[in-house]
Amino acid sequence: MASYRQRIAEGAVRDFPAIKRDYDGYKLMLDAKALAGGCLYGERVDGGGVTSAADRYLERYDDSVLRRLSALMLGIYEPYCKLPDEERRILALRYWRKMEVADVAAELRFSERSVYRHISQALNRLYRPVLEVQPLLEDWRTGALK
């Protein structure tokens, strides 16, 4: 049975692909908005002052939602990247490719017991970093981040 700490880290690892998708989609939306915000002569569609597409493109980095999504994504992914190779591969297969433990063990030629041990160690290592972005994660889950 997984401990509370492991369930916290496991939830973040499971949610990571959706967080990354939201980040990429939001960034693309801001890119399109920045590039489509003016016409040939640099006039703004909303009647504001003249700004270039390049200025609008750079302004997108001031968006608070993009910064929060980026902090959340990096808060999970950077600690994941610091895990040993075996643990990273096991977590990726188990949670991102949604494979059963027996299938992960067969894929990597490990015993099931070894796979469980690596998962447990990896989730314990990820607990503290995930705890730091837990408020952002909860906001993302409830939709309050956007």
Q: Total domain count for the chain?
A: 1
**Residue 25 is part of which domain span?**
4-142
Nearest 5 degrees, angle CA 146-CA 136-CA 88? 115
Reported as a single tens digit per residue, the pLDDT across 108-131 is 999 999 999 999 999 999 999 999
Other Cβ atoms within 10 Å of 141 Cβ, number = 13
Contact 93, 47 (CB under 8 A): no
DSSP state letter for 60 = G
Which pLDDT score, from 0 to 100, does residue 18 have?
96
Q: What is the pTM of this model?
A: 0.81
How far is it, in rounded angstroms, from Cα 97 to Cα 132? 26
